[in-house]
Structure 1
C-alpha cells in the first residue's frame, strides 16, 4: 500500500506538499488540472521496473504493446517553470504486504536529470527502511557514489554502480556492500513488488463483442482499457478451483446493487470454444452487446476490484462514465467494501458528484472512518497544478470545499422558484 506520494517539477506539479494516500483516495477537480498526472507518476515507475532493459534509468515509453504510457521526452515530463538544475523527482512511502523478505515498509525517492545526449539519467536514488538508508549519487561521467546511512564519505564510487530501473542498486554495488547488500536488495524487491501490484484502468474502455474466444488460461491483469476483463470472467466461470465463480458472482452482486442487472452468466456457444456474456434483468436474458453501454463500461471496474490480487493498489480514471446517478453512487460503496474485504487500495480520479456525496454519507453513517478516506481537489494556478486536501468531519461534511465545482444546487432551485413565480404573476396579469 502506498502511504504518501511526493513530486517535484513533474509535469504540471512544481512542488506540492506530500500527498497522503489512504485505503480509498479520491482525486477531484477541473479538467486538465493535473489529477491524472498524480496517477501517472507511479505508472511511469511501474513501466520502468517492467522494462526488459535493466540498465534503463526511466522508461518514458514508446512501446505500444508493453508500455502503459508514452510520456515523450525529458522536456515533456519536466515542469515548464523548472529552473536550474533542470531536474524532477518522484518519491513515495509504502507499507508492504508482508511477503517481501525482511523489508515490510520503506521510502523511495529518485531525482532525474538529462544527459548531454538527451537521455534521462538518475541524479540521486535514495532508499530507506525504518532504520537504514542507501543512496546512489551521480558524479562526473556517469559514475555513482554509494552512501550508507548518514555517512559523509562514499563507501565506493564508479560507473559500475549506476542504479537499474530506477529502484535497484547494481549487482556490483550489492556485492561490495557486503552484509548490507541483502538489505538494500530486499528493499528494492519490496519497492518493485508494490509497483508491480498496481492495477490501472483508464477512462477509455473497449466496447463489448458479441462473443469471445477463450484460451483456457487466466489473464495477468484486465489491461488499461479493460480488454482482458472478459477473459477474467471466463476464467472465473470455467477454471476449476476454490475461487471458481468468485469474480462472476462478485460482479453480479454489484451490478444488482447498481440496478443495472440481476446477474451475469457465461454461456458457451454450442460446442465451440467461444462464449458470450449474458446479462439477466427483469426476467430477460440479453447478450452484453445488446444492453446499455453503461454495463460494459463499468464491467472492467467491477472485475478489477475482484480480480486484482489481494493487497494490490487499483488506480481508476473516471470509473463512473456512462452510469446513471444511482450506479455512480454505489461505486463509493464498492471502493469502501472491497478495500476492507480484500485489503485493496483504491486511487480514483473522478468528476462524479454522486460518488463523492455517497462517500460523505458513508462517513456520516460510520460505515467508513474519515481517516480511511482521503479526498483532494486539484485546480490550476496559472501553469502549475494546485492541491487542496478536503477536510471532512465525522459527519462527512467538508470544511473547506472550493466554491462552484459541483455547481450551486440550492441556487439553481431558488432561481427556478423565482422564475416560476414571475411567470405565474405574468399569467394572472
Structure 2
C-alpha cells in the first residue's frame, strides 16, 4: 500500500463513503465498510527499504501490528489491495474470502468483489459461505453488477457413482436463483426449520 498509496483508483471501484480516489483512502473506505471502523496505515522504516503495516479496528485506539489484531482484518486487507490495483481483464482468484470474518463482513466482501468484477476484473471465488453468495446476490439486486456478469457453480458429488456433477443456477436481476440444489447453502434454513418445528 505504501508504494502505491497516492495512486488513483478507478472511480468504478471506489466506495461511496469517500470521494478521494487514492489507494490509501479507498483501502480504508472499504476496510471500514467490511469491518466497521477498521483502518490500515503504513510507515516507511528510516534507512531501510522496508515498510511497516499497522491496523486499528475502532478508528481511535493506537495502531497495532498485524500479529496483534484480529485475523479477519489481516486476511481481508490483501484482498482489498488486489481488487483495487488489478488491471482490467486481470484474473483475481480468491479461496475462502469469508475466512475469519463475521457474517456482516462476509456479505460485504461479496459486495466488494462484485464491484471489482463489474469494473473489469475477472473474479473467481471459491467459497462455502452463504453470506458471500448473498452479498453477490444483493449486488445484483442493487444494480452494482448485472446478473449476466455473475456465474455460480455448485459441485455436487453423486454418491452412487462417485462422480461430480456441476449445477449452475441462473441468477435473475433481483438476485434470485433459478434453483437451490440440496446441500447448496441451505443448512441455515434446514436448522431454522428444525428449531421452529417445521
The normalised TM-score by structure 1 is 0.39
Give the Cα–Cα distance (whole angstroms) in 2 for the partners of residues 383 and 376 of structure 1. Answer: 18
Q: How does 1:341-360 map to 2 (within 5 A)?
A: 341=119, 343-360=120-137
8 Å CA contact retained: 1:332, 1:356: yes
1:74 maps to: none
Determine the structure 2 residue equivalent to 1:259. Answer: 35
- Describe how 1:85-124 pairs up with structure 2 within 5 A: none
In structure 2, what is the Cα distance between the partners aligned to 1:261 and 1:289? Answer: 19
Give the structure 2 partner of residue 108 of structure 1.
none
Q: Distance in 2 between matches of 1:298 and 1:379?
A: 28
Q: Which residue in the other structure is 1:250 paired with? A: 26
Deviation of 1:350 after TM superposition, in Å, equals: 1.1
Q: Does 1 or 2 have the higher relative contact order (CA < 8 Å, sep 6+)?
A: 1
- Matching of residue 368 in structure 1 with residue 136 in structure 2: no
Q: Distance in 2 between matches of 1:249 and 1:409?
A: 36
Deviation at 1:261, TM superposition (A): 4.5
Distance in 2, Cα, partners of 1:242 & 1:294: 25
Mapped to 2, the partners of 1:262 and 1:298 lie a distance apart of 11
Q: How does 1:373-384 map to 2 (within 5 A)?
A: 373-381=150-158, 382-384=161-163
**How many residues matched?**
182
The yes-or-no answer on 1:277 pairing with 2:53 is: yes
Shift of 1:413: 2.7
Equivalence for 1:397: 176
Instruction: State the alpha-carbon separation in 2 of the partners of residues 242 and 255 from structure 1.
Output: 18
Take 1:242 and 1:301, find their aligned partners in 2: how far apart are those partners? 17
Indicate conservation of the 8 Å contact 2:118/2:149, yes or no. no
1:294 aligns to 2:66 (yes or no): no
> Which has the greater radius of gyration?
1
8 Å CA contact 1:261–1:279 kept in 2: the answer is no
Determine the structure 1 residue equivalent to 2:13. Answer: none
Residues 366/415 of structure 1: CA separation in 2 closer, same or farther (3 Å cut): same
Is the 8 Å Cα contact of residues 115 and 144 (structure 2) preserved in structure 1?
A: no
Q: Using the alignment, how far apart are the partners of 2:2 and 2:141 within structure 1?
A: 38
> Counterpart in 2 of 1:187?
none
The change in CA–CA distance for 1:308 and 1:365 in structure 2 (over 3 A counts) is: closer
Instruction: Give the superposition deviation at 1:379.
Output: 1.5
Tell me, which stretches of 5 or more residues in structure 2 are unaligned?
Answer: 10-20
Over the aligned positions, Cα root-mean-square deviation in angstroms equals: 2.4
Higher strand share: 1
Whole-angstrom distance in 2 between the partners of 1:336 and 1:297: 18
- Return closer, same or farther for 1:294/1:364 CA change in 2, 3 Å cut-off: same
